[in-house]
Amino acid sequence: MTNERIAFIGGGNMARSLIGGLIGDGYDSAGLWVSDPDAQRLGQLADHFGVHTTQSNSEAVQHADTIILAVKPQAMHQVAEQIKDHLDASRHLVISIAAGIRTQALEAWLGEGMPIVRAMPNTPALVQSGATVLIANPMVSTAQRDAAETVLRSVGLVLWVVDEAQMDSVTALSGCGPAYFFLVMECLEKAAQQQGLPARLTRLLTLHTAFGAAKLALESEEDSATLRARVTSPGGATEQAIKVLQQANLQSLFDDALKAAQQRSMELADQLGRNNG
């Protein structure tokens, strides 16, 4: 998609990450536009990446083939009102990375027939290690799907779903997921410190153990249960720790946690669609 022109509506952290990822993949910054009401932010983006900038959302759209809506969900309807008359369903692709805004709401706000891809990235995208799930409406062509995947793949893994109802479960798993792992790391650090280890040591050991475990899992064809069993020697220290966690019904806790997150995701999507409509 080297000839595609891309406009970012909103120049916040996720947009900055995507811009950096695209340029790192060889995309020419001359094909990138960013609109944002914050002139200082625009100046920083222009200086750092060499992208075109404007405070006018409609101007950015007119210079683009692909438009990435990178604004807060609460601002989405207002932004849609500003750009909808400048969109052309025959040539524009709209990608939304705003959490909780369903494609049905975007179609209503942007106009009938507009090709739209909804993306659910997570915060590790800020360090090019994200996991993003995409869903496309029926108007999105194969070429446009490829274009959307190229953009989001610049900051990590990209997967597709065909049922938008699954996006609430995606939010519960990968969208909220970094916080779960941070909580586990936080608990491990505190537990080790209570055994007398210094804070800096526990932090570094926790972070590198988490990183190493994830790297092992990524590079293995075995599932997580098998990998766990391989490092759990019978009668050993690991086995004793695992028994404590299983006796506390850790699986049930995570079942309940993801169900709560999924339900809240559904509630927020209903509210955002209603309140912005």
Tens of pLDDT, residue by residue over 50-100, are 999 999 999 999 999 999 999 999 999 999 999 999 999 999 999 999 999
Whether the pTM exceeds 0.85: the reply is yes
**Amino acid at the residue 68:** I
- Contacts with 126 (C-beta within 8 Å, 6 or more apart), sequence order: 13, 14, 17, 155
Tens of pLDDT, residue by residue over 136-160, are 999 999 999 999 999 999 999 999 9
Are the C-beta atoms of 57 and 86 separated by less than 8 Å?
Answer: no
Average pLDDT over residues 123-140: 97
Note the pLDDT of residue 135: 98
Tens of pLDDT, residue by residue over 1-24, are 556 899 999 999 999 999 999 999
82 closest CA partner among 101, 54, 109: 109
Are the C-beta atoms of 154 and 129 separated by less than 8 Å?
Answer: no
| CATH class of the structural domain 6-167 | alpha beta
Cα(141)–Cα(233) distance, rounded to whole angstroms?
Answer: 52
Q: Which residues pair with 34 in a beta bridge?
A: 8, 53
| CATH class of the structural domain 175-259 | mainly alpha
Tell me how far CA of residue 234 lies from CA of 99, 217, 223, 227, 247, in angstroms: 44, 21, 20, 14, 17
Tens of pLDDT, residue by residue over 175-224, are 999 999 999 999 999 999 999 999 999 999 999 999 999 999 999 999 99
